[in-house]
């Protein structure tokens, strides 16, 4: 009896720690995708005519496109796009004025997700709490935005993109799709047609955003595709650091997550974009996990601008993601720091594209891939130096760590240099956790799984240190959790 | 009795499809009490390092018969981390590098894991720092050293000195030193030996495994055992080490055969 209980408890532990769902009545559009559904979404959100037209144009482009699964190192059953819901919103009479008015079950959900204590203090309005603004996306509609006033004082706009479409149509029309056009790729086109919400940030000239901006995305409705759209614009000399973290509840069916993130850095502007991605990875066979097909791209439009992507990818059944930088301004800088962990049957095909267009542009890529179980982990990266990009420099370092015998690590670098006045460096290593490393730690009293977590955290240390402080400890824990069951 | 090994037999588990298991420990008995220092000496291939690995629970070996009691409890059924938590420490011949993990973090995780396994409270960061600072100072180890990743780029002497620091921090009941003298010049050897001697006390036992008598000039044992072909062929007092130094292993091994 007691044994049975123990076995059960162990089994429970093996399950995804965030596998729960909240029951909140939702309002759904019917299943499937056609122009009427897009009109429905657009009408629900009271969008202006130009926005609807923009969506319809994307939809028409999408219909002519083919799903791109031939080149990425991932395998999955074809998705039936007519069998998905494209709109679900928590039922609400009117917008809440404060967090007290938020459904306590939603707040409880964030509690379970382990939103850092500091941010909970912020949410609770504790005196002296660090300044982290949380724009919480619950399913597809933003339900809570804090610190709006303080941001407004600084002149920073941080709001749901649906609101920005109403309030700041000129900014949205100018920038939306200017980095990732509607027809850029299959999933970006789909997103452009049906996105329901996401975040919008505008930092005006010469303003350093006074706080870290943080958003938590979550999928919470059966068979609901999640199509966020994020648009961040930093005007001349401005600075913003944006954090995005997500985890999703347990599911039987595959869930499609096709977000688009566009960043625009004008002259002398700097954007730091950090992601901790912890979507449900599926069971040990990969059943039920999230498909994370994301297009993230930054346009370093102005001279001396800088964009830094930092990502920690631990979740999803399949990840297909290449946060990129178009280095158009002279002396502009693009950085990509990545930790991608795959366990069990997870498949990761991720990397970056650094496109050097301006003179003396610099890019730096540090990628740390960890594969365990029978997962496949691919780094795919493009460094492209165009004809006029005199003095361009790139440094790429790809390190892979293998745990066990059945997983795979792959590195696929594409390097194109069209000027002789450029310097491109690529370094790659592949290693395994050695038995004697594990034994050394265990002989000092550290249990096997913690020993693996310690070794892996050492391996990714360089990238962890690029994360904002409040994410570091949490991320180190997350790395341990994602590798549970990978040894022994 | 702190450590009691009775008629122990152990084999190296072969890799898949690689023939039979090879017996390395062939009926070894040993009793070691608190406060005692025992030395095991033996030629290469006598199985003395294997003995230390089997005691610490290194994977890859299988005990086929006999037993080992630690503080009266069965040792061989425990995981390596449980053995460590109970107070067994193996100072390794080749301390392993763990890139990216600062020594300080490693020490803290190790100490607190052991405490957790023993059901004790974890040590707070300030208390831990105080403890490490004090122990490091006594061994002449700079705090900068503790900020570096575990054993990465350390000299042979530094690695061994850090093993002694681990002992000082973790305070085990039994320290098994597996050829702690290998790769050390005479100065480094003195430093390490001084560190070990400072840890000697009525509650702690040491099992010093070495190839050369030289180490025993610095760490003086109460008992000396000569090991050959998987078992102890002779035991005696410190004078046995000198006898061995004069006559070489061959004489002893032939006698035993």
* A454 interfaces chain B, CB cutoff of 8 Å: yes
Q: Kindly state the average pLDDT of the residues A343-348.
A: 88
pLDDT at residue A99, as a whole number = 57
Chain A nearest-CA distance from B29, in A, is: 23
Q: Which residue shows structure tokens 């499809």?
A: B17
Residues of B in contact with A437 (CB under 8 A): 96-98
Interatomic CA distance for residues A76 and A407, integer angstroms: 17
* A431 interfaces chain B, CB cutoff of 8 Å: no
Chain B nearest-CA distance from A189, in A, is: 41
Which residue has better confidence, A476 or B192? Answer: B192
- Inform me whether the pLDDT recorded for A143 exceeds 70: no
Residues of B in contact with A436 (CB under 8 A): 94, 96
CB contact under 8 A, B113 and A436: no
Q: Kindly state the average pLDDT of the residues B69-89.
A: 96
Name the nearest CA neighbour of A88 among A196, A250, A216: A196
CB contact under 8 A, A460 and B100: yes
Strand ranges, E, within A193-346: 199-203, 212-217, 229-234, 239-247, 255-257, 260-265, 270-278, 290-300, 306-313, 318-321, 324-327, 333-342
pLDDT tens-digit map of A402-428:
988 889 999 999 999 999 999 999 999
DSSP 8-state symbol, B152 = T
pLDDT at residue B242, as a whole number = 87
Residue A315 token pair: 């979740």
Q: Which of B60, B83, B98 sits opposite A458 (nearest CB)?
A: B98
Q: Which residue shows structure tokens 């061995």?
A: B244
In chain B, where the domains are located: 3-256
CB contact under 8 A, B113 and A446: yes
A80 falls in which pLDDT band (50, 70, 90)? confident
DSSP 8-state symbol, B21 = P
Sequence-ordered list of residues with C-beta below 8 angstroms from that of B246, at least 6 positions apart, any chain: none
* B52 interfaces chain A, CB cutoff of 8 Å: no
DSSP 8-state symbol, A100 = G
Global pTM value = 0.80
The answer to whether the CB of A310 falls within 8 A of the CB of A462 is no
Q: Kindly state the average pLDDT of the residues B194-215.
A: 92
- Inform me whether the pLDDT recorded for A139 exceeds 70: no
* B101 interfaces chain A, CB cutoff of 8 Å: yes
DSSP 8-state symbol, A248 = -
Q: Which of B85, B95, B96 sits opposite A445 (nearest CB)?
A: B85
Identify the closest residue of chain A to B95 by CA–CA distance. Answer: A440
The answer to whether the CB of A339 falls within 8 A of the CB of A315 is no
- A242 forms beta bridges with A213, A273
Interface test with chain B among A445, A455, A464, A465, by most B beta carbons within 10 Å:
A445
Q: Is the dihedral of CA A281, A286, A290, A291 positive or negative?
A: positive
* A457 interfaces chain B, CB cutoff of 8 Å: yes
Chain A nearest-CA distance from B173, in A, is: 13
Residues 216-235 of A with CB under 8 A from B: none
pLDDT at residue B169, as a whole number = 96
CB contact under 8 A, A457 and B113: no
pLDDT tens-digit map of B35-47:
999 999 998 889 9
Which residue has better confidence, B85 or A102? Answer: B85
pLDDT cut 90: percent of chain A above it:
46
Chain B nearest-CA distance from A2, in A, is: 21
Interface test with chain B among A434, A444, A480, A487, by most B beta carbons within 10 Å:
A444
pLDDT at residue A134, as a whole number = 56
* B177 interfaces chain A, CB cutoff of 8 Å: no
Sequence-ordered list of residues with C-beta below 8 angstroms from that of A323, at least 6 positions apart, any chain: A261, A273, A275, A296, A297, A298, A309, A311, A336, A352
pLDDT at residue A142, as a whole number = 45
Identify the closest residue of chain B to A462 by CA–CA distance. Answer: B100
Strand ranges, E, within B13-155: 22-32, 37-41, 61-70, 73-74, 88-91, 98-102, 149-150
Residues of B in contact with A448 (CB under 8 A): 79, 81
* A100 interfaces chain B, CB cutoff of 8 Å: no
> How, if at all, do strands A212-217 and A199-203 pair?
unpaired
pLDDT at residue A251, as a whole number = 52
Which residue has better confidence, A266 or A5? Answer: A266
Interatomic CA distance for residues B51 and A284, integer angstroms: 39
Between A282-291, B62-71, B173-182, B203-212, the lowest mean confidence (pLDDT) is in A282-291
Q: What is the mean pLDDT of chain B?
A: 92
Identify the closest residue of chain A to B100 by CA–CA distance. Answer: A458
* R_g (Cα) of chain A, nearest Å: 22
Q: Which of A447, A455, A460 sits opposite B113 (nearest CB)?
A: A447
- Inform me whether the pLDDT recorded for A106 exceeds 60: no
Identify the closest residue of chain B to A448 by CA–CA distance. Answer: B81
Q: Kindly state the average pLDDT of the residues B153-173.
A: 94
A2 falls in which pLDDT band (50, 70, 90)? very low
- Give domain B3-256's CATH architecture: 3-Layer(aba) Sandwich (3.40)
pLDDT at residue A27, as a whole number = 67
pLDDT at residue A66, as a whole number = 87
- The size of the A-B interface in CB pairs under 8 A is 83
Q: Which of A450, A458, A460 sits opposite B113 (nearest CB)?
A: A450
- Inform me whether the pLDDT recorded for A73 exceeds 70: yes
Q: Kindly state the average pLDDT of the residues A146-173.
A: 86
* B25 interfaces chain A, CB cutoff of 8 Å: no
Neighbours of A351 (CB within 10 A): 26
- A414 forms beta bridges with A382
Which residue has better confidence, A118 or A4? Answer: A4
The answer to whether the CB of B66 falls within 8 A of the CB of B74 is no
Chain A nearest-CA distance from B254, in A, is: 35
Residues of A in contact with B81 (CB under 8 A): 442-448
Q: What dihedral do alpha carbons A389, A393, A397, A398 form, nearest 10°?
A: 0
Residue A204 token pair: 């005006």
Neighbours of A151 (CB within 10 A): 22
* Cα A89 to Cα A25, A140, A197, A224, A250, distances in angstroms: 9, 6, 10, 10, 19
The answer to whether the CB of B203 falls within 8 A of the CB of B82 is no
Chain A nearest-CA distance from B26, in A, is: 24
A128 falls in which pLDDT band (50, 70, 90)? very low
- Helix H segments across A114-206? 117-124, 148-154, 161-167, 169-175, 186-194
pLDDT at residue A13, as a whole number = 43
> How, if at all, do strands A199-203 and A157-160 pair?
antiparallel
Q: Which of B58, B99, B110 sits opposite A459 (nearest CB)?
A: B99
* A20 interfaces chain B, CB cutoff of 8 Å: no
Chain B nearest-CA distance from A222, in A, is: 41
Chain B nearest-CA distance from A431, in A, is: 12
Between A216-220, A275-279, A472-476, B82-86, the lowest mean confidence (pLDDT) is in A216-220
Interface test with chain B among A436, A443, A463, by most B beta carbons within 10 Å:
A443
Longest CA pairwise span in chain A (Å): 74
Q: Kindly state the average pLDDT of the residues A77-82.
A: 84
* B54 interfaces chain A, CB cutoff of 8 Å: no
pLDDT at residue A471, as a whole number = 72
pLDDT at residue A107, as a whole number = 62
CB contact under 8 A, B99 and A448: no
pLDDT tens-digit map of A431-482:
888 889 999 999 999 999 899 989 999 999 889 888 877 677 777 777 877 7
Residue A242 token pair: 């944006």
Interatomic CA distance for residues A429 and B175, integer angstroms: 37
pLDDT tens-digit map of B123-136:
999 999 999 999 99
pLDDT tens-digit map of A240-285:
999 887 554 545 455 788 999 999 999 999 999 998 887 778 778 8
A32 falls in which pLDDT band (50, 70, 90)? confident
Residue A397 token pair: 């370092």
Interatomic CA distance for residues B71 and A21, integer angstroms: 50
pLDDT at residue A14, as a whole number = 47
CB contact under 8 A, A444 and B98: no
* Cα B196 to Cα B189, B215, B220, distances in angstroms: 11, 11, 11
Q: What dihedral do alpha carbons B239, B245, B246, B250 form, nearest 10°?
A: 110
């Amino acid at each position: 009896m007691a044994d049975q209980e123990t076995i059960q408890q162990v089994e429970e532990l093996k399950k995804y720690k965030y596998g729960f769902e909240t029951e909140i009545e939702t309002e759904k559009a019917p299943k499937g995708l056609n122009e009427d559904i897009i009109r429905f979404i657009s009408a629900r959100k009271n969008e202006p005519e130009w926005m609807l037209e923009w969506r319809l144009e994307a939809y028409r482009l999408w219909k002519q496109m083919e799903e791109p699964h031939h080149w990425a190192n991932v395998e999955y059953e074809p998705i039936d796009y007519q069998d998905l819901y494209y709109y679900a919103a928590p039922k609400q009479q009117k917008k809440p004025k404060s967090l007290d008015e938020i459904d306590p079950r939603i707040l409880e959900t964030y509690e379970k997700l382990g939103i850092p204590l500091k941010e909970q203090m912020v949410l609770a309005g504790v005196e002296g709490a660090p300044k982290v603004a949380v724009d919480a996306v619950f399913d597809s509609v933003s339900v809570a935005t804090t610190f709006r006033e303080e941001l407004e004082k600084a002149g920073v706009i941080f709001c749901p993109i649906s609101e920005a479409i109403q309030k700041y149509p000129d900014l949205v029309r100018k920038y939306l799709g200017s980095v990732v056009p509607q027809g850029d790729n299959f999933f970006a086109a789909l997103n452009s047609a049906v996105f329901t919400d996401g975040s919008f940030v505008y930092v005006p000239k010469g303003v350093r955003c006074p706080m870290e901006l943080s958003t938590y995305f979550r999928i919470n409705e059966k068979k609901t595709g999640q199509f966020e759209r994020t648009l961040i614009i930093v005007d001349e000399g401005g600075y913003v650091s944006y954090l995005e973290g997500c985890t999703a509840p347990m599911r039987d069916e595959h869930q499609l997550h096709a977000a688009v993130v566009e960043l625009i850095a004008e002259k002398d502007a700097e954007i730091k974009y950090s992601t901790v991605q912890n979507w449900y990875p599926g069971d040990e066979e990969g059943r039920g996990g999230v498909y994370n097909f994301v297009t993230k791209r930054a346009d370093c439009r102005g001279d001396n601008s800088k964009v830094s992507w930092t990502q920690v990818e631990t979740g999803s059944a399949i990840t297909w993601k290449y946060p990129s930088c178009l280095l158009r301004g002279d002396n502009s800088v693009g950085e990509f720091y990545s930790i991608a962990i795959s366990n069990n049957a997870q498949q990761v095909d991720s990397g970056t594209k650094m496109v050097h267009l301006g003179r003396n542009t610099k890019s730096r890529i540090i990628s740390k891939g960890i594969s365990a179980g029978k997962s496949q982990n691919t780094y795919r990266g493009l460094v492209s130096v165009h004809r006029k990009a005199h003095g361009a420099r790139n440094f790429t370092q790809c390190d892979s760590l293998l745990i066990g015998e059945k997983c795979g690590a792959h590195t696929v670098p594409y390097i194109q240099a069209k000027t002789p006045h450029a310097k491109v460096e690529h370094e790659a290593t592949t290693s395994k956790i050695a038995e004697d490393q594990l034994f050394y730690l265990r002989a000092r009293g550290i249990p096997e799984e913690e020993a693996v977590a310690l070794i892996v955290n050492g391996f990714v240390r360089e990238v962890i240190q690029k994360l904002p402080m409040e994410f570091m400890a949490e991320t180190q824990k997350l790395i341990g959790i994602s590798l549970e069951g990978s040894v022994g | 009795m702190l450590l009691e090994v009775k008629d122990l037999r152990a084999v190296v588990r072969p890799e898949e499809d690689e023939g039979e298991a090879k017996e390395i420990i062939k009926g070894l008995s040993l009793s070691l009490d608190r406060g005692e220092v025992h030395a095991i000496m033996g030629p290469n291939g006598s199985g003395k390092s294997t003995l230390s690995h089997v005691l610490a629970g290194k994977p890859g070996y299988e005990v086929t018969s006999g037993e080992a009691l630690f503080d009266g409890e069965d040792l061989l059924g425990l995981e390596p981390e449980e053995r460590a938590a109970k107070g067994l420490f193996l100072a390794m011949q080749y301390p392993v590098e763990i890139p990216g993990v600062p020594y300080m973090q490693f020490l803290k995780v190790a100490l607190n894991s052991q405490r957790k396994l023993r059901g004790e409270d974890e040590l707070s960061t300030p208390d831990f720092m105080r403890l490490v600072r004090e122990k490091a100072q006594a061994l002449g180890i700079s705090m900068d050293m503790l900020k570096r990743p575990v054993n990465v780029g350390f000299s042979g002497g530094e690695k061994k000195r850090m093993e002694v620091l681990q002992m000082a921090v973790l305070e085990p009941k039994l320290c098994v030193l597996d050829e702690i003298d290998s790769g050390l010049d005479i100065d480094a050897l003195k430093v390490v030996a001084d560190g070990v001697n400072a840890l000697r006390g009525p509650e702690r036992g040491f099992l010093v495994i070495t190839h050369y008598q030289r180490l025993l000039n610095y760490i003086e044992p109460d008992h000396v055992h000569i090991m050959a072909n998987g078992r102890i062929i002779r035991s005696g007092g410190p004078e046995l080490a000198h006898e061995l130094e004069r006559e070489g292993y061959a004489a002893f091994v032939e006698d035993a055969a």
